[in-house]
Amino acid sequence: MAKSTLGFVTVFFQKINDSEVILMEIIIQQLINGLFLGSIYALMALGYTMVYGIIKLINFAHGEIYMIGSFIGYFLIHQFNDWGIFPNGWGFFVAMIVSMIVSAALGVIIEILAYRPLRGATRISALITAIGVSYLLQNLMIYFFSPDTRPFPQAIERKLYTFSGISVSNIQLLILFVSVSLMLLLQIIVKGTKMGKAMRAVSVDPDAAQLMGINVNRTISFTFALGSALAAAGGMLIGLYYNSIDPMMGVAPGLKSFVAAVLGGIGIIPGAALGGFVIGLIETLSTAVGFSDYKDALVYGVLIVILIIRPAGILGKNVKEKV
């Protein structure tokens, strides 16, 4: 009797230990997934925060640049396949570079045509214009390419690596590597180049920067180009990861990336990156614990709580705005 009781207790605690190990593996897996998803949000949030930091504009058309970047990559990869050039995944990287360049040009065109004429107007006018540009780009893409979802070409063969029950694909590793590399490159540009110094000067005082000989218009256009290029890279990476794109794909990620920028501290580049990773982790962890239907509510709930505690964001400083 004693032996059977002891055996039962041993089996019981063994099952508990096994359950704890499985739960820990699930949590670690979701944390890793959150890093990969968060890196995409971080790339997009950087575009929001750079533009806001310089001209105090929330560019709601940023999500549509992300979407257009993925479509450019989609058509280029198909064309490369038809021509039989850039095999073994190189077509994806060439398409990404071209997509970033074209999207950067598109961002500059939008800035010149839509935002520059309103630079002296009220902020609400610029905000409404940004929303209008967003809807215009959405509807143009739907008109010319239909609202249907398209399968993104798998230019890179997917491989899965498993370590102690934790699975990571080569696509996820690629996303993290490209995202972190682009963030580091952006930091080098902002901190170590002449144009980066001009960006920082314009963000502090545009009038004083102009008096010092800085071309404010060119600096602002360069900022839009940088942000648009990062958004295009994010669009291509997410297309490769989820294997699908559509003209409305930029709406939800665009809004969440704006939330990430606010969460980390709008106008602060490291804060935008941090906010992106936080949003990604919240989404994946909420899915892991069975709240996938409410993950958006959890994201905005965390945003509200953090802004109550720190109104300027995680890395932001409380500065009274001049009116």
Q: What is the pLDDT along the chain (323 residues), one digit of tens a residue?
A: 555 554 544 544 455 555 666 777 777 888 888 888 889 999 999 988 998 888 888 888 999 999 999 999 999 999 998 888 888 788 999 999 999 999 999 999 999 999 999 888 888 898 899 999 999 999 999 999 999 999 999 888 888 888 877 888 899 899 999 999 999 999 999 998 999 999 999 998 988 999 989 999 999 999 999 999 999 999 999 999 889 999 999 998 888 898 898 888 888 888 888 999 999 888 888 877 777 788 888 888 888 888 888 888 888 776 554 44
For the chain, the straight-line distance linking the first and the last C-alpha, in angstroms and rounded, comes to 82
Its pTM stands at 0.88
SS (H, E, C) 177-188: HHHHHHHHHHHH
Determine the pLDDT at residue 106: 96
**Are the C-beta atoms of residues 81 and 269 closer than 8 Å to each other?**
no
Q: What is the pLDDT, as a whole number, of residue 99? A: 96
pLDDT of residue 8: 46
Q: Where are the alpha helices (DSSP H) in the chain?
A: 2-55, 62-83, 90-110, 123-145, 170-192, 194-204, 206-211, 216-242, 251-264, 269-288, 295-309
Predicted local confidence at residue 323, as pLDDT: 42
Q: What are the tokens at 188?
A: 């080098």
pLDDT at 322: 47
User: What is the pLDDT, as a whole number, of residue 19?
Assistant: 62
Using alpha carbons, select from 124, 118, 138 the residue that is nearest to residue 61.
138
Which letter does DSSP use for residue 150 in this model?
B
